[in-house]
Amino acid sequence: MQDADEQHDLSDDSDYAAAKHQGSGMGVLSESVEAGGFDENDAFEVVYSKENVAIHPSQHIGERISGQLRVRKQRSSLFLRWVPYIHIHHEADYARNLSKSSTLAKDIQLYVINDLPFRCIRCIHRYIPPLAWQYIIIVLSSGLAYPPLYFYNGGIREFLATLKQHLLVVRSADNVNVFLVNDLQDPLQRSLSSLDLPRAVPNSRASSVKSPTAAFAFDEPQTSGRAKTNGTSGASEFAEQQAVKSHDPAFEISLQVLEKFSLITKFACETTSSIFHERQNQNCPSFEKISGENSSSKVLKSDKMLEPSHPLQFDNSLIHIGEPRQHPLDSRELATFFDSEGRVNDSLALRKRIFYGGIEPNARKEVWKFLLGYYLYDSTYAEREYLDSVKKSEYDCLKSQWQSISTAQVRRFTKFRERKGLIEKDVVRTDRSFSFYEGDENPHVKLLHDILLTYSFYNFDLGYCQGMSDLLSPIFFVIEDECESFWCFVALMERLGPNFNRDQSGMHSQLFALSKLVELLDRPLHDYFGQADCLNYYYCFRWILIQFKREFEFKNVMRLWEVLWTHYLSEHFHLYICVTILKKHRRTIITERMDFDTLVKFINDLSGKIDVDEIVREAEGLCLYAGEKGAACIPPGTPPSLPSDIASDFYPDNGDL
């Protein structure tokens, strides 16, 4: 038999990224459902056990974490448990081999599924690739999901058969590989899954769902009259058009979702909204969860407003506003940070200075190249000059690849036509009110197009997704040079690329981390979101996806981004910005009893009304107050973490200098 490393390359697996970015918060997820859970001191029965069930923290097959999967029954409750072998000492060589892997032993704790009650599970998604190992994805009631569990020795059929003996398990009407757990309501509604968003609501039902989120989508300028008049969601229309296509699992997850990103934001909101509207049609303006076994359904109450479990007045006595903002860093002061050969003497001091003061426009072009990772802080003037020449040649080569495609080739190159068409649509409506991009036949818009199309050839797996033009626009405005802007954008996408994965793994991991931070820093608001079924945090989707690009004026976006890129207090400071904005409006959100629809509209109406300096100072205070507890809320690998192997791929060998 072939060695396991040779049998299956996870880079061909559409969901391997979920193991690194989304699932690394598993241990924390288990903690959230621990109350009223499994009692180790009470008798229990193991109703299912399977060895060699693995999780992959990254795309590298050698980093798999093998373990034991069990289903344990205690009294009338069923619990799911997955424990890596390093904890139960089942594999003799596992601990020794682990030290050779890039996976840190201390991080393995985060992957443990420690007796998860099945009442907290919404559905189980089964995947049976034709030439690879079978795996399942566990989706919680909140919409968050664990990473794929790979069954190297088979056993998924037996696993599902065992569950059917003890629980109500029904197959989704939309997807034969989705199994709904404890589904006591309409199975079509209960099949909502963040892993299958475009397919979750049947077309017949989705057409009746009101769409309150025009401002939430990226396609605002292109909203058709039909969409405005009848409320038909773009996602359901798209799903209907694709219904005749193959039922390949990877295809059903993607459905070109991230290449038509407006559909993601609309659908994420509309599918959740449909649950609220169904209850409103029954004259039930509010609801609360039932406690107890198999209580995923809701009790509706028309005579009681939603109340937080804690008083509105939250104790902020230990949270202090951050330091006052300083004057921006200018070119003269910047020169003092370099030695005679051009190296940055103290990168931490430089990043701190930028964090608290920002950068003058005349110094941004040089500093942004360091912040984005295009230049190394310890590089010399000569090394940077050499890097520029090498990268110029590489860029010209990449650009020539699509420029040399003939008309005949284009007719036979569907993916190229689709991506090129999407880029052309996006660039003509990106920041066109800003003087740098305004006007017909603007050459900067043409270069924006060229950079994005070249990137789709540089990173062909990811390609182009809607929202990328928003991230490139300020970079090109500051850097001005086409080639250098491209490589700065490449460096940024090394961090933010998981935001655009078709399985949304990067977004899921950040939304999960955001939920844990809100729980830590504003428990009353967290409890309210739980009662209002708003714990999926999809209303913050746009904030995270494009780093608040639509929430501030162009000049303030640049000021905020350079603060985020310093990674001074945290490489996930953008999540503390999210918490700060939500926290500032907690009283309004709770007292006005905002449901999901209202929350989306309210948050989108904040665009242009947020003071960037004030919000950064308050986020700094929250970050310092949260400390290590806050850092522990964020799973390892959560974007915008810088990939550890970027240097080997991005920078030329020093020996070539």
Asked if 119 contacts 296 with a C-beta cutoff of 8 angstroms, the reply is yes
* Pairing of β 149-151 and β 45-55: antiparallel
Summarize pLDDT for 599-617 with one digit per residue, the tens. Answer: 999 999 999 999 999 999 9
Spatial neighbors of 134 by CB under 8 A, at least 6 apart, are 126, 127, 128, 150, 151, 154, 156
Helix axes 596-605, 261-280, angle to 10 degrees: 140
54-70 confidence digits (pLDDT tens): 888 765 555 678 889 99
pTM value? 0.59
What per-residue confidence (pLDDT) applies to 653?
Answer: 61
State the average pLDDT over residues 405-417: 93
Cα–Cα distance between 501 and 503 in angstroms, integer? 5
pLDDT band at 654 (very low <50, low <70, confident <90, very high): low
Q: Average pLDDT in the 238-263 region?
A: 38
Euclidean distance between the first and final Cα of the chain, in Å?
46
Looking at residue 602, what is its pLDDT? Answer: 95
Over 50: is that where the pLDDT of 592 sits? yes
d(CA 385, CA 379) in angstroms, rounded, equals 10
Residues 6+ apart with CB under 8 A from 440: none
Residue 578 or residue 262, greater confidence? 578
Give pLDDT, residue 383: 95
In order of their start, the domains of the chain are 14-23+44-316 (2.30.29.230), 359-500 (1.10.8.270)
User: 33 with 291: CB under 8 angstroms?
Assistant: no
**Letter for the amino acid at 429?**
R
Amino acid at 287: F
Strand order in the sheet with 45-55: 113-117, 77-84, 65-74, 45-55, 149-151, 134-140, 121-127, 178-181, 169-171
Tokens of 231: 């409320």
Strand bridging mode 121-127 / 113-117: unpaired
Of the ranges 44-53, 207-216, 238-247, 394-403, the best mean pLDDT one: 394-403
CB of 28 closer than 8 Å to CB of 635? yes
* 393-397 contacts, C-beta under 8 A, 24 or more apart: 395/454, 395/482, 395/483, 395/486, 395/487, 396/483
> Rounded to an integer, what distance in angstroms lies between the CA atom of residue 146 and that of residue 508?
10
Backbone φ/ψ region at 335: left (φ over 0), alpha (ψ -120 to 50), beta: alpha
- The owner of tokens 């993607």 is 254
Helix (H, G, I), strand (E, B) or coil at 549: coil
Mean pLDDT of 379-388: 95
**Quick one: CA dihedral 594, 599, 602, 603, positive or negative?**
positive
Mean pLDDT value of segment 118-140: 85
* Mean pLDDT of the chain, nearest integer: 75
The CA radius of gyration of the chain, in Å to the nearest whole number, is 25
